[in-house]
């Protein structure tokens, strides 16, 4: 269901519209001048500057997407304690800014897995993006490519890895849910490699799906009715077989090594012990993640898990983090606490749901601009300069 069936055409209509959707700025369209950053035409008078932060995009997405889609997107396990812990963890960290440093030239470049990335802000894998917008992962891919952000594609994407890679260009990363049948998992790996993916992101926090009480009934109905295709799994996953495997153990890392040539990054590590095991099994990178608080309730916020993992890894492989990152300062803090890059999930989906490709672009532009300003204000002209000296944990 799409709640928005009006297209504001006049200043008065537009003012009412902006008030209705609750945006924080009421910049008005100037007659005769095309101000639109949005090519969809649906919100042709909504300007980029109307979105001051990613929460403005969230507000709009709430109006545009149906309740079920927003519940699926924003929901989490049980009582959302871990969803909140992810967000609140960042409030316990303060920044120690330095001054009188030339910040006229800021570089956000990072090197990861042999790639040079323009920015350390990466798109987390998010399944079923067609539920948020009809162009789903293809719109996300076009936005990520146009803004030069690394994207990870979920196993349970609605568009296939080859379709998304065609929209994204080279170096899309593929997120893997290992299925109970390794033959099927192998087909997924082959599809990813054929699409040119250099990195396989193995998600390990989902032996079963978490207890999401704000259900996604419509999602399942759409899938059952065949209206929401699973681009990678349809046609290869037998009827009734789950796409996650609860028998999987560390042995899968060796199996992946033997069955693909991609770098292997493990997503869903939250303890020092598992970081040590991941190193022992020779993974190429770790993503500290609790699945955005959607899996095990009462997991700690990821920023609280990060220090023990960074300590264990000692710089031997890159450590990434996701969960609750909403502001440039959150990114700054995560980098200062030892992350090599950060990933965001819900915020880009708010953009997707609200405005399609353009919305994702806005959702990526905002935290990047915030990060650059924060780096200027803190006296850190490059990502390497953001060290532990720049934060204090309460
Ligand atoms: C709607 C939704 C779907 C997701 N689907 C997947 C998925 O298919 N595979 C996966 O590894 N993680 C998935 N995640 C978890 C994200 O990759 C990521 O860990 C999380 O969203 C980060 O937290 P944030 O949303 O607070 O930024 C999903 C998250 C959301 C919100
Ligand atoms: C509603 C169950 C789908 C789980 C797969 C996508 C995912 O990982 C998520 O967090 O949602």
Q: Is the CB of 223 under 6 A from ligand 1?
A: no
On whether both 222 and 176 belong to a single domain, the answer is yes
pLDDT tens sequence across 211-232: 998 777 778 888 888 888 999 9
What residue's CA is closest to ligand 2, atom 2?
209
Separation of CA 127 and ligand 2 centre (Å): 6
Which range, of 65-74, 80-89, 128-137, averages the lowest pLDDT?
Answer: 65-74
CA angle 72-324-179, nearest 5°?
A: 55
Residue 95's nearest CA partner among 390, 394, 393, 365 is 390
On whether both 79 and 117 belong to a single domain, the answer is yes
In sequence order, which residues have a C-beta less than 8 Å from that of residue 224 and are 6 or more positions away? none
User: Which residues pair with residue 175 across a beta bridge?
Assistant: 201
Q: Please tell me the total count of domains within the chain.
A: 2
Helices 67-74 and 346-355: crossing angle in degrees, nearest 10, is 160
On whether both 218 and 271 belong to a single domain, the answer is yes
pLDDT tens sequence across 348-393: 999 999 999 999 999 999 999 999 999 999 999 999 999 999 999 9
Q: Quick one: pLDDT at residue 351? A: 98
d(CA 316, CA 168): 30
d(CA 121, CA 287): 13
**Based on the number of CB atoms within 10 Å of its own CB, is 277 exposed (0-12), middle (13-18) or buried (19 or more)?**
middle
CA angle 315-320-321, nearest 5°?
A: 130
On whether both 301 and 363 belong to a single domain, the answer is yes
Separation of CA 45 and ligand 1 centre (Å): 31
In sequence order, which residues have a C-beta less than 8 Å from that of residue 79 and are 6 or more positions away? 297
Q: What is the CATH number of the domain that holds 264?
A: 3.20.20.70
On whether both 139 and 25 belong to a single domain, the answer is no
Q: Is the CB of 328 under 6 A from ligand 1?
A: no
Instruction: Give me the half-sphere count of Cα atoms (radius 13 Å) on the Cβ side of residue 172.
Output: 31
Using pLDDT thresholds of 50, 70 and 90, give the confidence band for residue 65: very high
**Assigned token pair, 390:** 């720049």
**Assigned token pair, 190:** 């082959």
On whether both 1 and 74 belong to a single domain, the answer is no
On whether both 155 and 276 belong to a single domain, the answer is yes
d(CA 290, CA 343): 12
Which domain does 39 fall in, by range? 1-50
Are 363 and 325 within 8 A, CB to CB? Answer: no
- The binding-site residues of ligand 2, defined as CB within 6 angstroms of any ligand atom, are 127, 156, 209, 216, 291, 294
ipTM: 0.99
Are 333 and 393 within 8 A, CB to CB? Answer: no
On whether both 56 and 40 belong to a single domain, the answer is no
d(CA 170, CA 166): 8
d(CA 213, CA 77): 7
pLDDT tens sequence across 140-187: 999 999 999 999 999 999 999 999 999 999 999 999 999 999 999 999
CA angle 194-173-327, nearest 5°?
A: 160
Instruction: Give me the half-sphere count of Cα atoms (radius 13 Å) on the Cβ side of residue 85.
Output: 22
On whether both 40 and 63 belong to a single domain, the answer is no
On whether both 195 and 68 belong to a single domain, the answer is yes
Q: Residues with catalytic annotation?
A: 291
d(CA 325, CA 303): 9
On whether both 219 and 357 belong to a single domain, the answer is yes
On whether both 301 and 177 belong to a single domain, the answer is yes
- As a whole number, mean pLDDT of residues 35-46 equals 43
Last residue of a domain, one of 34, 50, 66: 50
């Amino acid at each position: 269901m799409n709640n928005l069936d009006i297209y504001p055409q006049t200043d008065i209509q537009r003012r009412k519209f902006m008030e209705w959707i609750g945006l924080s700025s009421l910049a008005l369209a100037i007659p005769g001048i095309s101000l639109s950053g949005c090519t969809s035409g649906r919100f042709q008078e909504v300007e980029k500057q109307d979105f001051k932060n990613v929460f403005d995009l969230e507000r709009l997405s709430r109006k545009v997407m149906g309740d079920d889609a927003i519940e699926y997107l924003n929901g989490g396990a049980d009582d959302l304690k871990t969803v909140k812990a992810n967000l609140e963890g960042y409030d316990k960290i303060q920044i120690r800014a330095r001054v009188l440093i030339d910040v006229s030239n800021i570089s956000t470049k990072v090197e990861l897995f042999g790639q040079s990335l323009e920015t350390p802000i990466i798109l987390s894998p998010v399944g079923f993006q067609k539920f948020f917008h009809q162009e789903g992962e293809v719109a996300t891919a076009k936005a990520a490519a146009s803004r030069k952000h690394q994207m990870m594609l979920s196993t349970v994407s609605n568009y296939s890895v080859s379709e998304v890679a065609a929209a994204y260009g080279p170096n899309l990363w593929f997120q893997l849910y290992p299925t109970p049948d390794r033959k099927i998992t192998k087909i997924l790996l082959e599809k990813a490699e054929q699409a040119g993916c250099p990195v396989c992101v193995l998600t390990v926090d989902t032996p079963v799906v978490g207890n999401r009480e704000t259900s996604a009934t419509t999602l399942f109905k759409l899938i059952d009715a065949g209206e929401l295709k699973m681009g990678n799994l349809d046609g290869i996953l037998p009827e009734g077989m789950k796409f996650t495997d609860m028998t999987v153990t560390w042995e899968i890392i060796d199996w992946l090594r033997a069955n693909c040539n991609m770098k292997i990054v493990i997503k869903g590590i939250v303890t020092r012990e598992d970081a040590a095991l991941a190193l022992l099994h020779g993974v190429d990178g770790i993503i500290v993640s609790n699945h955005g608080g959607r899996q095990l309730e009462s997991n700690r916020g990821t920023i609280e898990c990060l220090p023990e993992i960074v300590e264990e890894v000692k710089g031997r492989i890159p450590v990434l983090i996701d969960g609750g990152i909403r502001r440039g300062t959150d990114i700054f803090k995560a980098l200062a606490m030892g992350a090599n890059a950060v990933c965001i999930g819900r915020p880009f989906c708010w953009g997707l749901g609200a405005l399609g490709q353009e919305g994702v672009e806005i959702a990526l532009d905002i935290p990047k601009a915030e990060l650059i300003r924060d780096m200027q204000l803190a006296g850190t002209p490059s990502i390497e300069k953001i060290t532990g000296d720049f934060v204090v944990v309460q």
